[in-house]
Amino acid sequence: MGARSLQAQQTAVEIAGQNLANVNNPAYARQRVQMQTSPTISSTLGEQGTGVQVTAIQQMRDALLDSQITGETSVGGYWNSQQSGLQSAQIGLGEYIDSTSGSATSTDGTTSGIADDLSGLFSAFKSVATSPESLTDRQLLMSNAQTLATRLNQASTNLSNVKDQLNQSLDGNVKDANQLISDIANLNKSISAAEAPGGSQPNDLIDLRQSKLESLANLVNITSSTGDNGAVNISIDGNQIVSDSTVADTLQTYDAGGGQMLVRTATGGTPLNLTGGEMKGTIDARDGTLATLQTGLDTLASQLITQVNAIHDVGYGMSGTSGAKFFNGSDASDISVNSALVSDPSLVQAAGAPGASGDNSVALALSQLANAPQAGLGNQTFSQAYSQTVAGLGYSLNNANTQVNDSTKVQSMLSQQRDSVSGVSIDEEMTSLIGFQKAYEASAKLVTAVDQMLETVISMKT
């Protein structure tokens, strides 16, 4: 009995030690020794106890909390990747508020973005309208026009790069997800083998599998169910991904047309309709807000090109030339200023009729373009349409920020709850440790006492 007790207490101390060692392991669920009295012996006095035995090492885990956390991790992953994608888009657009920029007395003062450059172009048109024969004003016009075109090109390139980055990150997510899927399948195998009748619950493997499930849920929203043999089956959008210990299917990215990468199953080739996780967040950011932003810029640029050229085409330069285009290109990525006009600003067609350099009627019409609602821009002026595009990005990102905060709070609350069930408390373990240590000493004392009694009995003979 004493020996059995010593063993039991020793096991308990080891478990306490195990808990203490893993106090900072976030995936760890604390373990508890389950002690039970060992089978009794029938004696003439009745049932006599034979001491204690350790029946199981139990893991303190709440399956409901685990599945809640897995679900919420998907939501968190979705909003986090949206937020980071849109942050990149905001940086790529480069439009920030500088409240002192508008009141600068010079028209080419500190510029902070496309809005400023757009105003700069129209201001330059106004100044050429006021002094049509002034080469200085014409040169300034060309310079402002080039600045605008370059900045539009730059923004377009940046946004295109962000789109590529998001595609790459989707690729990376899919690779990680596939790795996790195969890991989970392997763990399923080990766990089912260990939980086979006659075996015991492999607590550490279960901890590991749960943490991998959560990592996978962060990437893509999964539906999981636990089988009778302890294996977790995973499906995504109704497609079986992990079935027992086999990987039923993996994920891959594919081009849905127009460079738009989406996710589908590898063997079946079924496009997946994702509902959460980082992958979905990346896809939504790319095809939603980022695409709208890019379209907004392109529409602005193409309308600007069309409208300015339409007015400029019929004008006359200072030497009577006509028909030259002001802007070349078709959208934000390739808008540029006619290089012939840049090298010789006197060719800018500001006049309505040839031969009179003081004629400013075309320049005047160009300057009035600033206030004209454009049918192609939803009956807004160029500046209004642009600021609305910027605000659109702002609303989406603002929303993503709020959602990330909310999701973080929810995740935090859930993990606090899990921690209160599964977390290791140093004070608690130390107290248990002392308790088991004392019990060990007591049992040792019992062994010593029995031993002494035996010696007394034996020495009776001699």
Partner 1 sequence: MRVTGNYFADQFVSTVNGLSARQQKLQNEISTGQRISAPEDDPAAVQRTLNLQADQQAVTQYASNISTLQDRATTSFNAIKSVKTVSDRAGEIATMSDGTRSPDELQAYATEVTQLIKQTVQTMNTKDGDSYIFGGTQTSQPPYVIATDANGNVTSVTYQGNTGVADKPIADGTTVAVDVPGSNTTGTGQQGVITDSRTGADFFNHLISLQNHLLAGDTASIASTDTPALGKDENNIISQISNNGAIQTQLETAQTANTQQATSLTQQVSTQADADITDTIVQLNQAQYAYQAALQSGAGIMQKSLLDYLP
Cα dihedral 386/389/395/397 (nearest 10) = -110
Of 50 and 398, CB closest to partner 1? 398
Sole binder of partner 1 in the list 283, 393, 404, 414 (CB under 8 A): 393
Asked if 419 touches partner 1 (CB under 8 A), the answer is yes
Tokens encoding 165: 């980055």
Residue numbers 315-334 binding partner 1 by CB under 8 A: 318
Q: Name which of 24 and 44 has its Cβ closer to partner 1.
A: 24
Ranges within 60-99 binding partner 1 (CB under 8 A): 86-87, 90, 93, 95-99
The verdict on 401 binding partner 1 (CB under 8 A) reads yes
Given the rule CB under 8 A, which of 167-175, 279-287, 303-311, 354-362 is the region that contacts partner 1? Answer: 354-362
Task: Pick the binder of partner 1 from 38, 211, 368, 403 (CB under 8 A).
Answer: 368
Binding-site member from 225, 420, 448, 452 for partner 1 (CB under 8 A): 420
DSSP letter, residue 272: P
Match 């306490």 to its residue by tokens: 16
* 5-24 residues near partner 1, rule: CB under 8 A: 23-24
Among 37, 246, 412, 448, binds partner 1 (CB under 8 A): 412
State the number of binding residues for partner 1 (CB under 8 A): 79
Nearest distance from residue 128's CB to partner 1, in Å? 10
Among 266, 356, 410, 439, indicate the residue that binds partner 1 (CB under 8 A).
356
Identify residues 135-154 at the interface with partner 1 (CB under 8 A): 135
Angle between helices 135-195 and 291-313 (to 10 degrees): 160
The DSSP H or E segment spanning 52 is strand 52-59
Residue whose CB is less far from partner 1, 22 or 179: 22
Binds partner 1 (CB under 8 A): choice among 15, 16, 29, 129: 129
Q: Is 411 in the site for partner 1 (CB under 8 A)?
A: no
CA dihedral defined by 355, 358, 359, 365, rounded to 10 degrees? 140
Tell which one of 355, 442, 448, 452 touches partner 1 (CB under 8 A). Answer: 355
Q: How far apart are CA 108 and CA 220, in angstroms?
A: 49
In angstroms, give the least distance from the CB of 357 to partner 1.
Answer: 4
Segment contacting partner 1 by CB under 8 A, of 31-39, 193-201, 261-269, 385-393? 385-393
Asked if 169 interacts with partner 1 (CB under 8 A), we say: no
Taking the complex as a whole, how short is the minimal distance between the CB of residue 433 and partner 1, in angstroms? Answer: 10
Q: How far is the CB of 247 from partner 1 (least distance, A)?
A: 34
Which residues is 98 bridged to in the sheet?
A: none
What distance in Å separates the CA atoms of residue 299 and residue 330, rounded to the nearest whole number?
A: 9
Q: Scanning the structure block, which residue is given the tokens 């009295």?
A: 37
CA 275 to chain centre: 14
Chosen residue from 415, 435, 444, 446 binding partner 1 by CB under 8 A: 415
Instruction: Count CB-CB contacts under 10 A for residue 297.
Output: 23
Which of the stretches 168-176, 178-186, 266-274, 394-402 binds partner 1 when contact is defined by CB under 8 A?
A: 394-402
Q: Smallest distance from the beta carbon of 446 to partner 1, in angstroms?
A: 25
**What is the helix (H) or strand (E) element at residue 159, kind and residue range?**
helix 135-195
- Residues 216, 184 contacting (CB under 8 angstroms): yes
* H and E: helices and strands count for the chain: 11, 12
The residue within the footprint of partner 1, chosen from 358, 375, 460, 462 (CB under 8 A), is 358
Residue 39, burial from CB neighbour count under 10 angstroms (0-12, 13-18, 19+): exposed
Distance CA 430, CA 401 (A): 42
Of 111 and 221, which has the nearer Cβ to partner 1? Answer: 111
CB of residue 327 vs partner 1: minimum separation in angstroms? 20
- How far apart (Å, rounded) are the C-alpha atoms in residues 317 and 104? 31
Contacts (CB under 8 A) with partner 1, residues 424-443: 424-428, 430-431, 434
Inter-residue long-range contacts of 406-415, CB under 8 Å, 24+ positions, other chains counted: 407/72, 407/75, 407/76, 407/79, 407/80, 408/76, 410/72, 410/75, 411/69, 411/72, 411/73, 411/76, 414/65, 414/68, 414/69, 414/72, 415/69
Binding mask 254-293 for partner 1 (x = CB under 8 A): ----------------------------------------
Give the 3-state secondary structure of 68-97.
HHHHHHHHHHHHHHHHHHHHHHHHHHCCCC
Q: Does 372 bind partner 1 (CB under 8 A)?
A: no
Among 394, 438, 445, 448, binds partner 1 (CB under 8 A): 394
